[in-house]
Amino acid sequence: MSRLRQVAGVTRLALAALPQRAGASLVVVLGMAGVVAVMVALLAMGEGFRQTFGNAGSDKRVIVLKSADDAGITSAVTREQLPIVMNLPGLARDPDGKPVAVGLKFMTSELRERATGNEVGVPMRGVTGQAFRLWPEVRIVEGRAFDWGKREAIVGRAAQREFAGLELGATVELTNGPWTVVGVFEAPGTLFESELWGDVEMVFPGFSITGQFSAVVGELAGPDSLQTLRDAVSTNPQLSHVVLTEAEYYATQSANLGQAMTAFGYAVGVIMALGALFSAVNTLYAAVQARSREIATLRALGFGAAPVVASVLLESMVLCGAGALLGGVLAWLAFDGNSMSTLAGGQDLRQIVFAFRVTPGLMLQGIAAGAAVGLLGGLFPALRAARLPIAEALRRA
């Protein structure tokens, strides 16, 4: 108990004297804040990217395509294969008995990105009749749905925000000609919002040379239907396709870039933290030196070495912890929800709009990093403080 009281007393003394070393202490706080802000911001980028894909993928929907690792130019379902795939066992049916499945064709068009003025590739998802039943999360919030058989597009909220020329009622020049924007849809936090949607039969003319669909997406009839469907595809001589759940599909699509972003965030964070560590050690050595008279006096009064060590460690952790907290908050204020768009795999150079996500987990990681640097950084200065020769330190005073 008295030990604890000693620790509390010495630490209070140390912290009370902080303003006298304000400059040096501020260096530690700001240094740590910089490290954590950069690390959390980079990790938030990877997190946001993965979530945008993850939110779109459902376990209840399946995607039938030519090859698992490629959904670009080469993936194909021919017009003859489309009804065969849609009527496979395992896919859900609506009350009228029609399969809940959609033939897709993606068309990339060049549009101007507002933030940068760059021409980038924006995807249009050409769909068949059951699209809104299959993806109920896609809700039209302005205007109306497109009419079948017309060059009418509905645009995702994120796409509208990010790319120029997609205002309601506008005519936009896409790859195969002019389209009219008749509606705006939301599907919060998913990659669908980066897209334009329209009638697939209006996408083919003037764009597709082969007239083949990119893939078929359907709803599973029940929890056991995935295997039924897979078996049906593999035993059908007319098909040489693979079946993935939508969740699996988007996880593989986002894996590479998402992992690269996160790995980059950690690598930069670790290197920067090393720099912050050196600066913390430096400052605390100076602090111990400045306090040597005080520490020696305390020791002479009968305070043990442990409370002195603890007080230096606590001072270090308070400084680094405060810096980390500041950095995390800075990253959150500056980046959380910021949207950015990047190239998202596929050979047809599609842009994906996603937002930085500074999650509580990432904030905690940043603060933990700060505390760890504080603990490590305080260790050697604390030991020096404990070993301070009392008589000599007092004499120097």
Partner 1 sequence: MKYLPLVWAMLWRSKARTWLTFLSIVVAFLLYGALQAVSATFMLGVRLSGDDRLIVTYRQGLTKLLPAAYQSRIEAVDPDIIVAAPVMFLPATWKDPKNQIQVLATDPETLVPVDPRIVVDPAQLQAFKSRRMAVLAGRALAEQHGWKVGDRLPLQSPVQRKDGTEVWEFDLVGTFELDRARTGVEVPAQLVVMHLDAYNEGATFSNYVIWYTVRVRDPARATAIGKAIDASFRNSELETRTQSEADFQRGFVKQFGNVGKMMGAILAAVFFTLVLVAGNAMMQAFRERVPELAVLKTLGFGNGRVAALIAAESLLLCALGGAVGLGLARALVPLAPAGLTGPGSTLFLEPATLATGFALALGLGAVAALVPAWRSARLSVVEGLVRA
Distances (CA, A) of 181 to 101, 104, 143, 311: 25, 20, 9, 65
3-state secondary structure of 356: coil
User: Does residue number 349 form part of the binding site for partner 1 (CB under 8 A)?
Assistant: yes
Would you count residue 310 as binding partner 1 (CB under 8 A)?
no
DSSP state, 58? -
**With respect to partner 1, which residue has the nearer C-beta, 178 or 223?**
178
Residue of 351, 355, 374, 393 interacting with partner 1 (CB under 8 A): 351
69 binds partner 1 (CB under 8 A): yes
236 binds partner 1 (CB under 8 A): no
282 and 381 Cβ atoms separated by less than 8 Å: no
Give yes or no for residue 23 binding partner 1 (CB under 8 A). yes
Q: 21 in helix, strand or coil? A: helix
CA-to-CA distance for 1 and 34, rounded, in angstroms? 38
Footprint (CB under 8 A) of partner 1, residues 244-283: 260, 264, 267-268, 271-272, 274-276, 278-279, 281-283
CB of 143 to partner 1, least distance (A): 25
Q: Which residues contact 118 (CB under 8 A, 6 or more apart)?
A: 112
Any residues with CB less than 8 A from the CB of 395 and at least 6 apart, and which? none
Two tokens at 284? 């605390």
Does residue 118 bind partner 1 (CB under 8 A)? yes
At its nearest, how many Å lie between partner 1 and the CB of residue 383?
12
Structure tokens at 268: 């930069």
Contacts of 230 (CB under 8 A, 6+ apart): 243
Q: Pick the binder of partner 1 from 58, 110, 145, 372 (CB under 8 A).
A: 110
Q: How many CB atoms lie within 10 A of CB 240?
A: 11
Q: Which is nearer to partner 1, 275 or 337 (CB)?
A: 275
Binding partner 1 (rule: CB under 8 A), the pick from 14, 91, 101, 120 is 120
Which residue type, as a one-letter code, is found at position 371?
A: A
Q: Give CA separation, 90 vs 41, 96, 176, 232, 284, in Å.
A: 43, 17, 35, 9, 67
Binding part of the chain for partner 1, among 150-158, 196-204, 229-237, 336-344 by CB under 8 A, reads 336-344
Size of the site for partner 1 (CB under 8 A): 56
Choose the binding region for partner 1 from 36-44, 88-96, 155-163, 181-189 (rule: CB under 8 A): 36-44
When the beta carbons of 180 and 282 are compared against partner 1, the nearer one is 282
| Binding status of residue 76 toward partner 1 by CB under 8 A | yes
Nearest distance in Å: CB 228, partner 1:
25
**Encoded amino acid at 307, one letter:** P
| Other beta carbons within 10 Å of 9 | 14
Contact 280, 32 (CB under 8 A): yes
The CB-of-384 to partner 1 minimum distance in angstroms stands at: 9
What residue ranges bind partner 1 (CB under 8 A)? 23-24, 26-27, 30-31, 34-35, 37-38, 42, 66-67, 69-70, 72, 74-76, 107-110, 116, 118-121, 175, 207, 209-210, 260, 264, 267-268, 271-272, 274-276, 278-279, 281-283, 285-286, 340-343, 347-349, 351
